[in-house]
Amino acid sequence: MVIRKSGAYRLGREVKFTVWAPQIKQVKLHLEGDSAAIFEMQADDEGYFNLTLPCSEKPYRYWYEPDGQGPFPDPASQYQPDGVHGCSQVVDHNAFKWTDERWKGKPFEDLVMYELHVGAFTPEGTFDAIIPRLEELAETGINAIELMPVSEFPGSRNWGYDAVFPYSVHSAYGGPEKLKALVNEAHRLGIAVFLDIVINHIGPEGNYFGNFGPYFTDKYSTPWGKAINFDGEWSDGVREYFSELIVFWSAYYHLDGLRLDAIHEIFDKGAFSFWELVQQKLAKHRRSNGRAFHLIAESDLNSPRVTRPVEVGGMGFDAQWLDDFHHALYVLLDEPGQQRYVDFGTIGQLAKAYKEGFVHSGSYVNFRKRKHGASSAGVPGNAFVAFNLNHDQAGNRAGGERLSQLVSYARQKVAAAALMLSPYVPMLFMGEEYGEDTPFFFFVSHSDPELIESVIEGRRREFKDFGDTKKSLNPQNEQTFLKSKIKWQKRTEGKYAALLAWTKALITLRQTHPALRNFDKDGVMVDVISEKALALKRSSEDQKADLFCYLNFSDEGVPIKPPGAASGFKLILDSGENAIAESTNEVLAGPGVKIFSRIEPAFSGRKFYT
């Protein structure tokens, strides 16, 4: 199979420039700076224009001129040092000296993930500034970080979903070399690195793709603009561009996996699907480097096909985000939240989320005005990523509220236990481990006044649709971004330190208890004991280790019948010293958690108090 690599790559003592422009008659390459010159590129019979030049002392900075237009940056640029409207720069991937040769990745089911925004995670907002915090994350038990998109976007602050150069690494964060340094150090500490990427649309500002080729289609539309042309005329080059992008992040940045944004907005009716092409290329790549590389989908489909192999009609993802778990749990923790999630609100739905995964699996959904989803009962737990919070859950509120700003400290402890004891791969949002209570807003730094106003108005409509009547901050204002930065030092203070200790204990329990290492849902039993409480039992594959957890989401006490010492069970974690004895029963005051085990946990200490 011939693989075309759009972009500029150093090959030995030469640099090869390639750009896909199938309907263009002539493309000229413009060099800037000391090497300033103009060259005409040579076309092949598949719509690619090529040019090879000897390496220069300094990295080439360049533009393309298709049929006399522009010049424009390279659509496959790997570095935009002057932003989305500036020239592209060649990246010498041989210059960085990797030291992670022995790193082969981690099994997906072993991960405790941690989503972070590079700009808001530290005061500096750079890749370099993340590195000193990695050790503390590792000590907490977090062994995988997931970076929100880092491809070049307009300005210096953005969530990253408006990126316009999918192959690039954002200049304000430190560029390609600094991302590699972050990955290299994370691997040294035993931390996998994932990246969130967007291939369902290209952002509006700095988008010059249409000047080169038919990257977009009018057959479909997305909420963010034109859909990518994955199945129409001239789509072969588009499919190559984006399928190569997925392999690129593993090959050149040693990433451990990707999270693909909103795959339900990727449209392809072809007989040989885009996902088959991706899996074909990944299989070849994995054989060549021996590293684990995982794909995670964000999907609105509630479809088990997302994680089925492509050989049986699936998409081949290793896992998908499980929004239904979040929704079912959140409305029990914060009752007003049901206004946002009108189809959730019962303890039975959380029980189903634990036992099956999808809550909506073919039933009528008011939000959608139709039946939605299919059963995921047969999908193993390690094919889902569950969470209590992510960038969307906070940032898509007018006030940017995190869970810690919406519920009590006691409920945060219940939420942490509910997540870590689930049969799914858990993910925390930056600061959640210690109850960070600064907001996380949506922010941008566009330069087009009309686009800025469009973004502001669009956000207002979204908040109104969710019934959120709070006045939202201007996403273009720099203060909106600065207010979203977490306060890392809190993790050593008062209630924050106590919640961090609770989170650490839960993570340790998850990573060491045999019952929590079983991702077969036959090892999960759920008993609804009241309208706001349930009992969760997890069993190991060999049935030799069991764990009971009682979760009370109400403010009222709930009678429970904990397994007795006669059966070998001991209380190993208690969210508060508030159990009340009642003859042979106990009352679990709420909100609260009690966890019993037939084996000793790997941490010292039996109870954690408020």
446 is an annotated ligand-binding site residue: no
Q: Tokens for 107?
A: 């099994």
83 Rama sector, left if φ>0, alpha if ψ -120 to 50, beta otherwise = left
Please give the structure tokens belonging to residue 280: 């074909």
Residue 263 is assigned to a ligand binding site: yes
Give the residue ranges of DSSP H helices in 421-553: 449-465, 478-482, 494-512
Using only C-alpha atoms, the chain has a radius of gyration, in whole angstroms, of 25
Is position 326 annotated in a ligand binding site? yes
H-run or E-run covering 409? helix 409-420
On whether 396 is known to bind a ligand per the annotation, the reply is: yes
Bridge partners of 228, per DSSP, are: 216
Is 392 assigned a ligand-binding role in the annotation? yes
**Is 325 marked within a binding site?**
yes
**C-alpha angle with apex 82: 154 to 484, nearest 5 degrees?**
40
The overall longest dimension of the chain from CA atoms, in Å, is 89
The reply, when asked if residue 323 is annotated as ligand binding, is: yes
- Check if the beta carbon of residue 363 is closer than 8 Å to that of residue 372: yes
Q: What angle do CA 103, 108, 114 make, to 5 degrees?
A: 90
Does the annotation list 285 as a binding residue?
no
Q: Are strands 363-365 and 370-372 parallel, antiparallel or unpaired?
A: antiparallel
Q: Cβ–Cβ contacts within 10 Å for residue 348, how many?
A: 14
Give me 48's structure tokens: 């690619």
The annotation status of 395 as a binding-site residue, yes or no, is: yes
Residue 552 CB neighbours (<10 A): 25
CB 167 within 8 A of CB 151: yes
Residue 369 CB partners (closer than 8 Å, separation 6+):
none
Q: Residues with Cβ < 8 Å from 445, sequence gap 6 or more?
A: 154, 155, 156, 157, 158, 476, 478, 481
Q: CB-side exposure of 11: number of CA atoms within 13 Å? A: 11
User: DSSP secondary-structure letter at 152?
Assistant: B
Which positions are annotated as active-site residues?
261, 298
Confirm or deny that 262 is annotated as ligand binding.
Answer: yes
Does the annotation place 261 within a ligand binding site? yes
Neighbours of 522 (CB within 10 A): 9
- CA angle, 441 then 143 then 396, to 5°: 15
* Nearest CA among 400, 373, 403, 399 for reference residue 387: 403
Per the annotation, does 3 bind a ligand? no
HSE-CB for 177 with a 13 A CA cutoff: 8
* Pairing assessment for the beta strands 225-228 and 216-222 based on DSSP bridges: antiparallel
> How would you classify residue 372: left for phi > 0, otherwise alpha for psi between -120 and 50, otherwise beta?
beta
Bridge partners of 61, per DSSP, are 89
Are residues 503 and 434 in contact, defined by beta-carbon separation less than 8 angstroms? yes
Annotated binding site: 259-264, 323-327, 391-396
Annotated binding site for substrate: 259-264, 323-327, 391-396
